[in-house]
Structure formats: C-alpha cells, structure tokens
Amino acid sequence: MTKSVKQQIIDLAVPDLEKIETALEKHLEPNLDLVKQIASHLLFSGGKRLRPLLMIHSARMCGYANGFEIDFSTIFEYLHAATLLHDDVVDEADIRRGKKAAHTKWSAPKVVLTGDFLLALALDLAARTREPDIISVIAKITRDMSQGEIDQMTKKGKLDISEEEYLDVIEKKTAVLIQGACQSGAILARSDKEKQSALKAYGFHLGMAFQMADDLLDYTATAQVLGKNPGADMREGKLTLPLIHSLTRASKEDKSWMEHVILEPGFHIEQFEQLKALLFRYKGIEYTQNMAREHVGKAKSCLDIFESSLSKKLLSLLADYSIKRKV
Amino acid sequence: MTKSVKQQIIDLAVPDLEKIETALEKHLEPNLDLVKQIASHLLFSGGKRLRPLLMIHSARMCGYANGFEIDFSTIFEYLHAATLLHDDVVDEADIRRGKKAAHTKWSAPKVVLTGDFLLALALDLAARTREPDIISVIAKITRDMSQGEIDQMTKKGKLDISEEEYLDVIEKKTAVLIQGACQSGAILARSDKEKQSALKAYGFHLGMAFQMADDLLDYTATAQVLGKNPGADMREGKLTLPLIHSLTRASKEDKSWMEHVILEPGFHIEQFEQLKALLFRYKGIEYTQNMAREHVGKAKSCLDIFESSLSKKLLSLLADYSIKRKV
C-alpha cells in the first residue's frame, strides 16, 4: 500500500519539527511577559512550520552541514508570525488558526508592537548568520509584504480587480516569504548562483500555488476544517481568483447578482452556497485549480538540477501537497 | 563675538544636511504612491536629522573615508520615522512636529504598514553595508524600542512609577536608537573595540540627556515653540522625571492634589500652571536638569580618546545643545 503524500511528508519532517518547536521557544525570550504571551498565542497555536522546513531542507539539499539550520529556520516563522499579527490588526479579522485573533484579546497597539518585536527577533537571528545577502532577502520580504498589504487594502471592495492585480498581490503577500525561506537556505549553504536561482524560483511557484489553494479553500472548505468561516475573503471585500475569473465569464444577470452579494454586508449562507455554485459553473474554481497545478509543476521542475536526496524528496512532496491540503 | 552653540552646529552640519535630504528622497522609492505620501508627510516635515548627523560624524571621527556615510546615515532617519509612525498609532497622538499625526490623515492600518515599509528600507540599506554587526545593532534597536513602548503603555496612568522604571523606558524608547547610530558609525569605519565602546557610551548618554530635555520641554515650553501642546505626556498618562521626582518630595496634600490632576481627563490650563509651579517648588525640574547635565558631561568625556577633528567638535557641541535647545 502506498502512503499518502501527507504521511510521507510527516515521516520526513518529524525529526526536525520537534527541534523547530524547541528553537522557537528558546529564541522567544523577551524581557516582558506580555510580549511573550501575545507572541505565544499565535506562535504556538498549530502552525505547520512550512517556512522553517523549507529553509532547512533547501539548505541541506545544497549541502549545508554546519548544524545551525534549525536555529536559523526560525527566522521565517517569526517573520511569518510578525506579519500575521500586523495583518490581523489591518484586516480586523476575528479568528486566526481557529483561535480568536490576537487583537481581539489584546489592544491593537500592543499587537502591533509585538509584531515589531518578532520582526526584531528575526532580524537578530538573521544578523547571526553573518550573511548580508540573507538580510537583503529579509528586507525585500518586509518591503513587499507591507506594500502588498497596503495594495490589497486600497483594492478592498473593488469589483473590477484584474487577474494581473490579483497575481501581484498574492506574490507580495505570500510568495515572497516562502521564496525568501528557500533562497536563504541556498545562501546559508553558500551554493552557486544557479542553485540559488533554482530555489528562489521553486519558492516563488510553491508560494503562488499555496496561496491559490488557500483562496480556493475559502470557498470549498467547511468552517470546522478551515478554523475560520469560509467566504471570509469575500466578507472582507477581497476578491480572489475563483471569483475574479468567474466575474469575467458570467452572464450580465449573474454578474450583477454576484456583485450585489459581494457588496452586501453580512450575506446569508444560502447566498454563499448559490455564489459557490456560480464559481463552479463559470469555471472560476477549475481555472484557479489549473493555474495552481501549473505552478506546482514549475516548482518541481526547478528541483531537477539537484541530486537525489531526502530533502529533495520532501521539497517535491511539499509542492504536491500545497494544492492537495484540506486546511 | 562668540557664536552660539546652535550657530556653531549649523555651520558644521550644513554641508551634510542638504546631502542627507537628497539621500532620504532618493532611497524612498516605493512602488506605491500612497506609501510615499504617508512616509513623506512625516519624513519631510522638519526633522532635525540628528541621528544621520551622529552616524556620519561618528564614522568620520573614526577615520571612515569610503564615501558612503551619507547614504548609510539615512538608515537611522528611516528607523526613527518608522518608530514615530507606529508610536503615533499607539499613543493616538494628534500632533507631531506641528502637523497632524499621520494616523489622523490616513487609517491606522495604513500608517502601521508604512512604518513596516520604512523599517524594510532601513534594513535594505543596512544589508548594503555588508556589516552584520550593524544589523545586530538595528535588531537590538527594534527589539528594545518595541518593548519600551509596550512597557510604557502598560505603565500608563501608573502613579507610583519609580525613577528606575522611568530611566529604563527612556533608554529603550530614545537612547538605544541614538546610541545605535553612533555605534554603527564606528562599525562602518571598522574602528577598534575601544572606540566602538566609547561611541556607544557617548550615544547612550546623549540619548538620555536628549530625552530628559524633551521631558522638561513638555512642561516648560510653549505650544507654539513645541509644535504640540505642552503637558502632552501627562495628558497621555505618562509620568516623566520632573513629576516623578516631585511626587516623592511633595507634601501629602500637594501629592494628592497632583495625583488628582494627573488622573483627571482634560485638566485646565490653570491647573497645569499650578502643577508646573509645584514641579519647580519640589525641585523636579532642577533634579531632571541636573541629571541631564551629568549625562552631557559623561557623553563629552567619552570623546576624550579621539584626536581633535571637526567631527569631534560637532559631536561635542551636539551634546551641549541637547539640553540647551528650545524645541
């Protein structure tokens, strides 16, 4: 019997996952208890540690063997947590990873400052790599992510957002961080430019596929599995590819009904189900699935130049899993 | 006729000030117009460019002559602006540098994200120095400042804040950044540990004196000169040294009256004047002035190990000016 992709990933990742948890706790030693509480609320609430795993195995696939990959991999989980904290405040989201968002438990200013603190923590670890190129990567991540968020904010409720605009937003809000984790692994291993570029491209395609899968799940998953209500993006006025594509193909009548539902504050569950049916009928779901699948294919082909290894196997499986996951 | 300290500083600083402005504009090239607007609102509203000047002249005093000190000095102005943006949101301050605070013109989330963007800009420039020690300094600055702000927030309205707690808060919120600018100048110049330590100590004492002078001005300056209402700290529930010291020495009656005024939302101008009189009577003003003066003395003595130069002269004058300034 062949094992599922998920099971294969778990088997390969388990030895590191525990070490990542330990490292995350070890480096989170702020002087103030409150910072630790707020940061821990998010950091230790069931994250999949995808970004640390990507850095660790990118480094190892490039031959890194100096033993600091676990410690340095936490950079990307802290960065991720910092942006989630700022995003929660920005989006005024109520639920994150099935728990109340931090800013509903603590005041927004405290959450913002805790985000700043986690960013500082990531930076401090990055400085310890003694690799200025990793700092440049992190600067690019921070710059793109803040711009992407502002961009997304200014586009809220905009009904005629184009596919191109959507792709630009998800690159900045998701792909650059995943890309940066992979690229930094290659930099840490001091690998040549070709391998750095390959891992950068792998991370980009994986990140794009990952976000498209996320945007699909917002329509197709249940609240229980998702850890938050489905349709949350739409409720926040964020149009994602399944909807964007369907709007360009819908009949005049269906289009105007869809726009009405999008703009309506607090639509009903029946309306949401009806909208979902239209996303299937106008192939917005299928179109997004296909595009995500293409990115997965491209991500995997970026790994071709590397010799076989367990790390390569894991990176390939993670690409497959990015669009198969249920949550 | 001898020139005033201020005039001597201007004469020495003018050649660089224009270059700093040009560099600040050059590096602020975000893709999004909105970010540029929000950032410019604060960045180009009459900042004194103290932090860039400190880095430039610290580097030159240590013999740096590679020509990048102006570009790299902007790191500390961007960092400063980033923290001001986050602080404005955190404090809900209405006026900054005589202008409406950014968050009253744009939504708080946009201001937070623009702060993140400026931090990323600082980081990107820092990476270009190729000096991991400068990155570590910036990580420490970011960490301490976010913790200091949280700390200050949790102490808001606390009437029994000790002198020690006050000193810890101002170190984190002001001194670490000024200290970091000076220290980074020494690192950029690749100077020895002794000189690095001396400039680090100089920056610390200058920063402490600078913040104490600021806290004094909040009581002694006029709204017109200050660019914001005096008594703003107290209005926000922040107790600073003039008040903290006076409270420990006041009669039972005066103490309870002072506490009443502090806790009262929107006290009257007469009450403020009366409180000021008590700060003079109980020597809170004098005590703070003396302590600031001591820090200035220590800052200047840190410069003893350096040979005479125009940069050394300027750093010494800046220490004098930190407590003489009117705004």
SS3 for B226-276, per residue? HCCCCCHHHHCCCCCHHHHHHHHHCCHHHHHHHHHHHHCCCCCHHHHHHHH
Whole-model pTM over 0.90: no
Q: Which residues of B touch A184 (CB under 8 A)?
A: none
Nearest CA in chain B to A108: B90
- pLDDT tens-digit readout, B54-95: 999 999 999 999 999 999 999 999 999 999 888 877 766 566
**The amino acid at B115:** G
- pLDDT tens-digit readout, A285-298: 999 999 999 999 99
Q: CB count, 10 Å around CB of A90?
A: 23
* Ordered DSSP codes for A282-303: TTHHHHHHHHHHHHHHHHHHGG
Q: Do B127 and A109 touch (CB under 8 A)?
A: no
Q: Which residues of B touch A153 (CB under 8 A)?
A: 109-110, 113
Nearest to B138 among A34, A123, A150 (CB): A123
CA quadruple B46, B47, B53, B55: dihedral sign: negative
Match 């005590």 to its residue by tokens: B287
Q: What is the pLDDT of residue A230?
A: 77
What is the spatial distance between Cα B94 and Cα B99, in angstroms, rounded to a whole number? 8
- pLDDT tens-digit readout, B149-178: 888 888 887 888 999 999 999 999 999 999
Residue A231 pLDDT level (bands cut at 50, 70, 90): confident
What is the spatial distance between Cα A203 and Cα A314, in angstroms, rounded to a whole number? 13
Nearest to A147 among B35, B89, B149 (CB): B35
Distance from CA of A40 to the nearest CA of B (A): 15
What is the spatial distance between Cα B33 and Cα B124, in angstroms, rounded to a whole number? 19
Helix residue spans in B163-251 (DSSP H): 163-170, 176-188, 193-220, 223-226, 232-235, 241-249
ipTM, interface predicted TM-score of the complex: 0.83
Phi (first) and psi of residue A99, to 5 degrees: -115, 160
Name the average pLDDT for chain A.
Answer: 89
Q: Do A128 and B117 touch (CB under 8 A)?
A: no
Distance from CA of A177 to the nearest CA of B (A): 14
Distance from CA of A307 to the nearest CA of B (A): 32
Dig out the tokens for B267 from the structure: 């006290």
Dig out the tokens for A172 from the structure: 């900045």
Question: For B61-88, b where at least 16 C-beta lie within 10 A, e where not — what string?
Answer: bbebeeeebbbbbbbbbbbbbbbbbbbb
What is the spatial distance between Cα B118 and Cα A69, in angstroms, rounded to a whole number? 29
Of B87, B89, B27, B88, nearest to B52 (Cα)? B27
Q: CB count, 10 Å around CB of A165?
A: 16
Q: What percent of chain A has pLDDT over 90?
A: 62
What is the spatial distance between Cα A230 and Cα B202, in angstroms, rounded to a whole number? 56
Across the A:B interface, residue pairs with CB atoms under 8 Å apart total 145
Distance from CA of A66 to the nearest CA of B (A): 19
Of B48, B4, B12, nearest to B312 (Cα)? B12
Q: Which residues of B touch A139 (CB under 8 A)?
A: 120-121, 123-124, 126-127
Nearest to A147 among B30, B135, B151 (CB): B30
User: Which residue ranges form the domains of chain B, and what is each CATH number?
Assistant: 5-208+305-322 (1.10.600.10)
Match 């970091």 to its residue by tokens: B180
Q: Average pLDDT in the B12-41 region?
A: 85
